[in-house]
């Protein structure tokens, strides 16, 4: 919890006021939202780390777009909790605290998981972040091929690829 949030909470309690549950919940949720954003940023950089002079996906803020996607909010909640549970089992505070090898292992385990929604979480992040990453002008400009994609064909091939 941020210092100001703690001060508000303590101030309300010190004046004998009863802290409304909604206010307390919103204070706790703001920390949860930050933790979720940090976890998604770490997932984004694990899936799309950049390289060859390109930044990772979180440098473009692509995880923030995923956070604003309403139809996957339940998957995000389940997935972040699952990744943090995996991290705890590997002596880390949370998913972002894992090293790169452990993050890859966590995502592999999540993809192989049979728990409800965990594999869909990884697939949804890969789809949303991957689409956004490869749509970035800085990333697109690194691909030398500028011809038309299939089904319009490629100028140097007569037949479609097998």
For the chain, the domain total comes to 1
Predicted confidence (pLDDT) per residue in 64-121, tens digit: 988 988 899 999 999 999 999 999 999 999 999 999 999 999 999 999 999 999 999 9
Domain holding 127, by residue range, is: 33-140
Rounded Cα gap, residues 52 and 47, in angstroms: 16
Q: Is position 130 within any domain?
A: yes
Asked if the structure places residue 157 within a domain, the reply is no
Any domain includes 22: no
- Give pLDDT tens digits for 146-157: 665 666 555 565
- The answer to whether position 54 is within a domain reads yes
Written as six digits, the tokens of 74 are 């339940």
Whether this model's pTM surpasses 0.75: no
- CB-based burial label for 66 (10 Å; 0-12, 13-18, 19+): buried
For residue 23, tell me if it sits in a domain. no
Q: What are 34-57's pLDDT values in tens digits?
A: 999 999 999 999 999 988 888 999
Residue 16 falls within a domain, yes or no?
Answer: no
pLDDT at 50: 83
Query: Is residue 28 in some structural domain?
Result: no
- Distance separating alpha carbons of residues 43 and 55, to the nearest angstrom: 14
């Amino acid at each position: 919890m941020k210092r100001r949030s703690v001060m508000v909470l303590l101030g309300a309690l010190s004046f004998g006021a009863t802290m409304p549950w909604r206010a307390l919940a919103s204070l706790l949720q703001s920390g949860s939202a930050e933790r979720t954003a940090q976890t998604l940023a770490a997932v984004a950089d694990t899936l799309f780390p950049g390289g060859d002079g390109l930044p990772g996906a979180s440098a473009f803020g692509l995880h923030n777009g995923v956070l604003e996607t309403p139809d996957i909010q339940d998957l995000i909640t389940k997935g972040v909790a699952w990744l943090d549970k995996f991290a705890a089992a590997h002596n880390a505070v949370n998913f972002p605290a894992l090293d790169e090898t452990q993050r890859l292992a966590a995502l592999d385990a999540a993809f192989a998981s049979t728990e409800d929604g965990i594999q869909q979480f990884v697939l949804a992040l890969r789809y949303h972040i991957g689409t956004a990453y490869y749509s970035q002008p800085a990333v697109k400009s690194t691909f030398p091929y500028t011809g038309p994609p299939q089904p319009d064909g490629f100028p140097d091939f007569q037949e479609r690829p097998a």
